């Protein structure tokens, strides 16, 4: 992961010809800061599944009401992303991300004083949804597009895995805090985690390689920093209307909506309470989700590597098909204790969790060129809308039938549909990408 950057060394009459040194390209440091930032944002997304039962017991709110707060959070997480990508073009990455982290900290911290359901919707749903949406995968796409011309698939996989790393780091800790001290200290922990990342963003993150006189990683020529783009909202909405007139956009958005429904909306939100219904301790179930996070890192980075080498459509079709099959078996595997078939499911599902992101982003880049980050933001919005719908419906199904089985089977069938959708996207090779902005 190094690129040769030639810098003249100090010379003297005894030195002879200029010496050359090798050093790590600054792009990798920017990617590292982005990785840490997304980890901080992921802390809150580790919490919702742990709080469904505690909030239900303390406030007697229905699981549907709590699921509605989660769904608002997930929907705003997605709907904010395309506007955040445009705002980063206008105001810079550092400013947008620092403000977003502060909003997350406020939303999470204020929940400790809530006593009404509308406050849950405001803090947990609105504030944290807006903040986390500003650091969604569109943020990773913007950093990748600006700082890298080579290894983009690999970098996308690494940054996507950051969300899973946050889950890995925080989920067991938050589960222990909730189990030992109840849910309020866990909410404070999330707020502090978001605040801790702010100094790293402000001091270490840079908006563009040209800010420090560098070429993007892998670029043969220097790329000047573009002028700030005004009219962020108009540009974002315009990109949506233009992309919406193309078939690939709807196929990507529809398949990614199913991706969100079958991951964030389903497993991340409802796996812990579903396992608890079958007698498993919440801490054990949360630990299994953390294991998903471990293998998600491996699977997503591997997917980025594969995306640099193979057809993204075929990769996505395989990912969705395997995910659908695994969901059909899940109701048979839930039990009071962790057993080998459940461990196999967790490992298998973890490898496939967000492996869909690198090939989906690659298809957006192929189809829509320079504005692919904004278009991917809208595709991500569909991902989160799908997640929001299932987060809400999962709670409703559990309240109505006393079991989550129906939602597992329905999600498995939807994954089969997603596999078919991505296979019919036409490959754009010789023709130029769709132009979305003047």
Report field, pTM of the whole predicted structure over 0.75:
no
pLDDT at residue number 421: 94
Comparing 67 with 350, which gets the higher pLDDT? Answer: 350
Alpha-carbon span 304 to 309, nearest angstrom:
9
Asked if the model's pLDDT at residue 172 lies above 50, the reply is yes
Q: What is the pLDDT of residues 381-394, one digit of tens each?
A: 888 789 888 888 88
Task: Output the average pLDDT for the chain.
Answer: 81
Q: Which uninterrupted H or E stretch holds 391?
A: helix 372-401
What integer is the mean pLDDT of 349-359?
A: 86
Q: Are the beta carbons of 285 and 342 closer than 8 angstroms? A: no
C-alpha separations of 36 from 26, 88, 163, 202 in Å: 16, 18, 9, 13
Q: Are the beta carbons of 321 and 372 closer than 8 angstroms? A: no
Alpha-carbon span 281 to 271, nearest angstrom:
12
Q: For residue 5, what pLDDT band results from cuts at 50, 70 and 90?
A: very low
What integer is the mean pLDDT of 351-357?
A: 85
Q: What is the pLDDT of residues 6-31, one digit of tens each?
A: 444 444 444 444 344 457 788 888 88
Alpha-carbon span 131 to 73, nearest angstrom:
10
CA-atom Rg of the chain in angstroms: 22
Q: For residue 328, what pLDDT band results from cuts at 50, 70 and 90?
A: very high
Alpha-carbon span 272 to 270, nearest angstrom:
6
Q: What is the pLDDT of residues 72-106, one digit of tens each?
A: 887 787 778 777 777 887 788 888 888 888 888 88
Alpha-carbon span 362 to 289, nearest angstrom:
27
Q: What is the pLDDT of residues 104-131, one digit of tens each?
A: 888 888 888 888 888 888 887 888 888 8
Structure tokens at 299: 């699977």
C-alpha separations of 177 from 95, 235, 302 in Å: 32, 44, 33
Alpha-carbon span 436 to 103, nearest angstrom:
31
Q: What is the pLDDT of residues 271-288, one digit of tens each?
A: 888 898 888 888 888 888
Q: What is the pLDDT of residues 217-251, one digit of tens each?
A: 877 778 777 776 666 678 778 888 888 888 899 99
pLDDT at residue number 253: 93
- Domain 26-214+230-423 class in CATH: mainly alpha
Report the percentage of the chain scoring pLDDT > 70: 87
pLDDT at residue number 300: 82
pLDDT at residue number 15: 43
């Amino acid at each position: 992961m190094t690129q040769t950057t030639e810098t003249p060394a100090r010379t003297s009459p005894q030195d002879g010809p200029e010496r050359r040194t090798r050093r790590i390209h600054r792009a990798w440091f920017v990617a590292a800061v982005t990785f840490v930032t997304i980890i901080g944002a992921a802390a809150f997304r580790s919490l919702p599944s742990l709080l469904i039962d505690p909030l239900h017991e303390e406030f007697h709110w229905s699981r549907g009401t709590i699921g509605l707060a989660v769904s608002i959070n997930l929907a705003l997480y997605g709907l904010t992303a395309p506007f955040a990508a445009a705002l980063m073009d206008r105001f810079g990455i550092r400013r947008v991300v620092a403000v977003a982290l502060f909003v997350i900290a406020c939303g999470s911290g204020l929940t400790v004083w809530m006593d009404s359901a509308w406050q849950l919707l405001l803090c947990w749903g609105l504030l944290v949804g807006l903040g986390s949406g500003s650091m969604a995968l569109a943020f990773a796409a913007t950093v990748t597009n600006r700082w890298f011309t080579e290894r983009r698939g690999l970098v996308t996989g690494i940054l996507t895995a950051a969300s899973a790393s946050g889950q890995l780091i925080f989920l067991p800790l938050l589960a222990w805090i909730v189990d030992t001290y109840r849910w309020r200290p866990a909410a404070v922990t999330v707020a502090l985690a978001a605040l801790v990342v702010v100094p790293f963003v402000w001091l270490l993150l840079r908006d563009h390689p040209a800010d420090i006189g560098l070429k993007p990683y892998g670029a043969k020529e220097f790329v000047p920093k573009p002028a700030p783009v005004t009219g962020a909202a108009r540009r974002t909405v315009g990109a949506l209307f233009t992309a919406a007139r193309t078939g690939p956009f709807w196929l990507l958005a529809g398949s990614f909506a199913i991706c969100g429904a079958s991951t964030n909306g389903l497993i991340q939100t409802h796996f812990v309470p579903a396992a608890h219904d079958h007698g498993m301790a919440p801490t054990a179930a949360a630990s299994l989700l953390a294991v998903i996070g471990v293998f998600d890192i491996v699977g997503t980075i591997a997917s980025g590597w594969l995306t640099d080498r193979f057809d993204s459509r075929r990769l996505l079709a395989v990912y969705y098909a395997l995910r659908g099959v695994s969901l059909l078996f899940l109701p048979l595997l839930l039990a009071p204790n962790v057993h080998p078939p459940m461990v196999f499911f967790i490992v298998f599902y973890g490898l496939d969790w967000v492996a869909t992101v690198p090939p989906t982003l690659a298809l957006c880049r192929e189809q829509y060129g320079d504005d692919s980050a904004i278009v991917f933001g809208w595709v991500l919005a569909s991902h989160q809308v799908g997640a929001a719908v299932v987060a809400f419906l999962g709670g409703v199904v559990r309240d109505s039938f006393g079991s989550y089985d129906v939602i597992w089977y329905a999600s498995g069938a939807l994954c089969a549909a997603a596999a078919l959708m991505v296979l019919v996207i036409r490959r754009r090779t010789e023709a130029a990408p769709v132009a979305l902005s003047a």
